Amino acid sequence: FTVNTLPTEPIEGQKTGTSGLRKKTKVFMGENYLANWIQALFNSLGDEVKGKTIGLGGDGRYFNKEAVQTILKIAAAAGVKKVFVGRDAIFATPAMSALIRRRGLYGALIMSASHNPGGPEEDWGIKFNYSSGEPAPERITDAIYGFTKNISELKFADIPETNLSQLGTHSYGGFEVEVIDPVEDYLALLQEVFDFDMLREFIKRPDFSLEFDAMHAVTGAYAGPILVNALGAPASSIRNGTPLEDFGGGHPDPNLTYAHDLVELQWSEQAADLGAASDGDGDRNMILGKKFFITPSDSVAMIAANAQECIPYFKSGLKGVARSMPTSGATDRVAEQLGLKCFEVPTGWKFFGNLMDAGLCSICGEESFGTGADHIREKDGLWAVLAWLSILAYRNKDVPVGGKKVTVEDIAMEHWAKFGRNFFSRYDYEGVESDAANEMVEHLRDVLANSPPGTKLGDYEVQTADEFSYTDPVDGSVVSKQGLRFIFTDGSRIIFRLSGTGSSGATVRLYIEQYSSDVSTHNMDAQEALAPIIKLALDVSQLTKFTGRENPTVIT
Ligand code: VG1
Ligand code: CO
C-alpha cells in the first residue's frame, strides 16, 4: 500500500487523564482530532512498534466503528504488522488486557469513555494499554502529550475500509487485520481462574437466583457467552444485555444512582440472591445482595479474605494486596490478619500493574467500583461477579437445596465481625465550574498547611494532614498532588480529589471513612454512621460556599 502524508497542526488539550483521553464525541470528530492523538501515540512509540501486532476494540459506543478505520490506516503507515480487532469493534477493557497477555501483543488501543454516557452529544475516549496488559504508564502518556504539542504531519496508509462484522483476516500488502471474537480469549482465561464446574452446579440450584445488568454496554456481549452459555444461568437473568451506541440513553455506571432498575429490583420481594452490574467498558462492577449493598472498598477486602479458599487461581495464597488511596482501609485489615503486604497507590489502575509485574500483589481494588487481580492488568467487572459467585457457591456447597443458604449479607456481617467495619462513602459534585473547584482546593491546601498533628477539627484530632504523593516501590517513579487528606487519630479519614476522567468542567470527589470494631454498630446505614464526619468535611472545605452546591450529584 502507499502512504499519504497530510499536514496537520497541534490541537490543544490532548492530555491523558486518569484513564486515557476523554472528550466530548464532537470534539473527537473534529478535523484531525483523533488522527493527531493516534499519530502522536505512534510517534512516541517510534521504531519499537514496527513489525509488531496490536489489539483494537472498544465498549460499543457511538463513533467507535468509524474511529477503527482511521486508527487502522495510521497504524499501518506507522509500520504495525498486524491488528486484532474485535468483531463490531467490541472489546471490553479487561478482555483486551487478557488478549494482550495471552497473545503476547505489543499493546492495544481501547476506545471507551468507560461509564460516561455515549452518543453524538456525549463522550468518547481512547486509551493505550501496554505489553503486560496495563494502562500506559505516565512516561508513555507524557510522551504522547509531548508529541501532540508539535505534531505537523499525519501518515495514512491507503487501504480500504475493513468489514468489522465478519470474523476473518484481511491482508493489505504487508499489513494484516484480523477480526476476532472478543470473548474467546477472555472466557478461556476466566476458566483457568475459577472453578466453572462448581459455579455451574451452584447456578443451577433452584433456590439460587442471579440478576446481571449489562446496562446496554459492552458486557452485554460477554454475559450471554459467559454467564448463560458457559455457566448455565437462565437468559432471563441478564438485563439490558444488548450493547447500544448510546447505552440506551443511560449512564452506564454501576452504582446506586445510575443502576436504579437493578437497585429497585434488589430492594423488592423479587430480589435475586446475587445482583450485579457492570459499566460501559466492563471493568467496573457493583455487587448487591437482597436489600444489601456491598461497598466496593469492602468488596475487594471480602474477596481477598475468601480468595484462597474459594478461587482455584489463588489456592497457594495471595502475594499481597493493594488499594487506591481514597479506598477504605478494609483491605489493610485483611492484609494485617493474613500477614500480607498491602500497598496504597494513587487513583487509577495504572499504578497496580508494576506491583503485579513484580509479584507483589494478587488482588487490588478501588472504591470506584473497581476490583481485580493479577490474571490481567485492568480492573475486571465480570471477574468480580464470578469471584462473588465463587464465594457463595463454596460457602453453600454443603447447604441442601431449600436449606438456609449463606447470603451476601451473611458474608459481609461475618467479615465485619472478624475484621471490623470501615464505614465509607463518596460524594461527587459533578459539573462544578473549574475555577470554583480550584479555589476550593487552594483553600484546602491552606487548611492542610495549618493543621499539624494534634490539631482539633470538630471532635477529631489530626494525625496527618497532607497532599498524597506516591513513590512507586518498583521503579522509583514519583507522582504528587494525588489528593488532599486529613487522617485522624481514630483512623477516620476525609479526602478531597478532583476527577481526572471528566470531559468538561470539574468534578469534586469527597471520600469519607470511619472505622468501627463494635459489632452492635455494624448494621448501621453508612450515611447515618458517617453523618458527623461528613458535616465536618463540608465545614472544613466550605464546599457549599465555593461551589454553590448544597448537595452532591451522586452518593456512593
Ligand atoms: C475515576 C475513578 C478511578 C478510576 C477511573 C477510571 O477516576 O475515581 O478510581 O480508576 O475513574 O475508571 P477520577 O479521576 O474521575 O476520579 V473507568 O471504569 O472510568 O476506566
Ligand atoms: Co470503566
pLDDT, average across residues 5-26 = 91
Identify the active-site residue in 44, 97, 114, 278.
114
Residue 229: predicted pLDDT: 98
CA of 451 to the centre of ligand 2 (A): 36
Mean pLDDT of the chain: 95
In the reported structure, the alpha carbon of residue 376 is separated from the centroid of ligand 2 by a whole-number distance in angstroms of 15
3-state secondary structure of 166: coil
Q: Residue 18 has what pLDDT?
A: 72
Tell me what pLDDT residue 500 has: 77
| Inter-CA distances, 502 with 73, 109, 480, Å | 29, 20, 20
**pLDDT in the model for residue 517:** 87
CATH class of 3-182: alpha beta
Count Cα neighbours of 348 within 13 Å in the Cβ-side half-sphere. 24
pLDDT band of 35, cuts 50, 70, 90: very high
- The residues, any chain, with a CB within 8 Å of residue 328's CB and separated by 6 or more, are 295, 297, 298, 301, 367, 422, 424, 513
Rounded average pLDDT over 167-190: 97
**Single-letter amino acid code for the residue at 148:** T
- End-to-end distance of the chain based on CA atoms, in angstroms? 52
The residue nearest atom 19 of ligand 1, judged by CA position, is 114
Q: Do domains 3-182 and 421-555 have the same CATH topology?
A: no
500-549 pLDDT, tens digit each: 777 778 999 999 999 988 889 899 899 999 999 999 999 999 999 989 98
Residue type, 312: P
- CA 281 – ligand 2 centroid, Å: 5
* Dist. CA 475–CA 351, nearest whole Å: 11
For the CA atoms of 158, 162, 167, 170, the dihedral, rounded to the nearest 10 degrees, stands at -20
Judged by its nearest atom, the ligand closest to the C-alpha of residue 368 is 1
- Tens digits of residue pLDDT in 101-122: 999 999 999 999 999 999 999 9
| pLDDT at residue 490 in the model | 87
Position 19 pLDDT exceeds 80: no
Question: Does the structure show a pLDDT above 80 at 17?
Answer: no
Give the sign of the dihedral formed by CA 336, CA 295, CA 432, CA 347. positive
Q: List the grid coordinates of 406.
A: 449463606
Distance CA 395, CA 403 (A): 13
What is the C-alpha to C-alpha distance for residues 370 and 348, in angstroms, rounded to an integer?
A: 10
Report the separation in Å between the CA atom of 447 and the middle of ligand 2, taken as the mean of its atom positions: 33
What CATH number was assigned to the domain covering residues 421-555? 3.30.310.50
Coil, helix or strand at residue 323: strand
Mutate to test the pocket of ligand 1, among 299, 344, 368 (most ligand atoms within 8 A of CB): 368
Nearest in space to 120 (alpha carbons), one of 62, 80, 50, 173: 62
Nearest-CA residue for ligand 1 atom 16 is: 499
Q: Which residues contact 169 (CB under 8 A, 6 or more apart)?
A: 176, 177, 178, 179
Contact 170, 162 (CB under 8 A): yes
Asked about 278 being catalytic, the answer comes back as: no
* CA 159 to ligand 2 centroid distance, Å: 32
Alpha helices in 339-405 (DSSP H): 350-357, 381-395
Question: Per-residue pLDDT tens for 410-433?
Answer: 999 999 999 999 999 999 999 999
What residues are neighbours of ligand 2 (ion), with CB under 5 Å?
A: 114, 279, 281, 283-284
* Bridge partner list, 512: 425, 494
Residue ranges per structural domain of the chain: 3-182, 186-419, 421-555
Q: In the prediction, which pLDDT does 137 show? A: 84
Is CATH 3.40.120.10 correct for 186-419?
yes
Q: Is 127 close to ligand 1, i.e. is its CB under 6 Å away?
A: no
Is pLDDT of 498 > 90?
yes
Residue 347 in contact with ligand 1 by CB distance below 6 A = yes
Q: Are 153 and 6 contacting, i.e. CB atoms less than 8 angstroms apart?
A: yes
Q: Is the CB of 19 under 6 A from ligand 1?
A: yes
d(CA 546, CA 537): 13
CA distance 160 to 173: 11
Name the E strands within 8-151. 21-24, 53-58, 82-90, 107-111, 123-129
Q: How much is the CA Rg of the chain, to the nearest whole Å?
A: 23
How do residues 317-370 score in pLDDT, each as one tens digit? 999 999 999 999 999 999 999 999 999 999 989 899 999 999 999 999 999 999
Question: In the predicted model, is pLDDT for residue 404 greater than 90?
Answer: yes
Tell me the whole-structure pTM to 2 decimals.
Answer: 0.94
Say what the pLDDT of residue 357 is: 95
Q: Which ligand is nearest to the CA of 280?
A: 2
- Give me the pLDDT at residue 518, please: 87
pLDDT digits (tens, 9 = 90+) for 208-258: 999 999 999 999 999 999 999 999 999 999 999 999 999 999 899 999 989
Separation of alpha carbons 194 and 210, rounded Å: 17
